[in-house]
Amino acid sequence: MAGAAVANAEDITAGFKVNWMNLRDGGTGKVLWQSTDDLSKPGVEHVARVPKRILKCKTVSREINFSSVQEIKHLRVEQRVILNDAIIEEWHFEFGFVIPRSENTWQSLIEAAPAQDMLPSNVLSGNVVIETQFFNANRLVNMSQVRVFYV
């Protein structure tokens, strides 16, 4: 092929990094949790210690700052909340085109379940894993898992 070669999934994975992430009360904008750990690092179960008051928020804003060495034509994310090996929630997010050698910030607003449907923090803490899969269209680029402790 003449010209620039198309990056394969391994090249995209090698050049993809989550620089930081935060969770905010969607109503007030107050940061409740943040991390500068590379939560995209595969093969590691990451740990997040999140204030339990986040479970009282009507909406939660999730902000992810990431960088990519390679172009990503259609970045999308599938996120699953797993409680004791059972998927209890699943979300799908579309970002779109990612410019090569760029740093991007992506904010999503997540609406909480009604209060009567929320599980208490003592049931969730340490038993919840958030599995995040990053895709370029339908090709898996990266998967990470974060075990959540509510403190």
3-state secondary structure of 18: strand
CA distance linking residue 4 with residue 117, whole number of Å: 51
Give the model's pLDDT for residue 33. Answer: 97
The model's pTM: 0.85
Among 60, 91, 81, CA closest to 127: 81
Q: What is the mean pLDDT of each run of 10 residues along the chain (151 residues)?
A: 55 89 96 92 90 95 93 94 95 93 93 88 96 91 93 96
Q: Which residue has the tokens 């075990």?
A: 147
One-letter amino acid for residue 29 of the chain: G
**Strand (E) or helix (H) holding 9:** helix 9-14
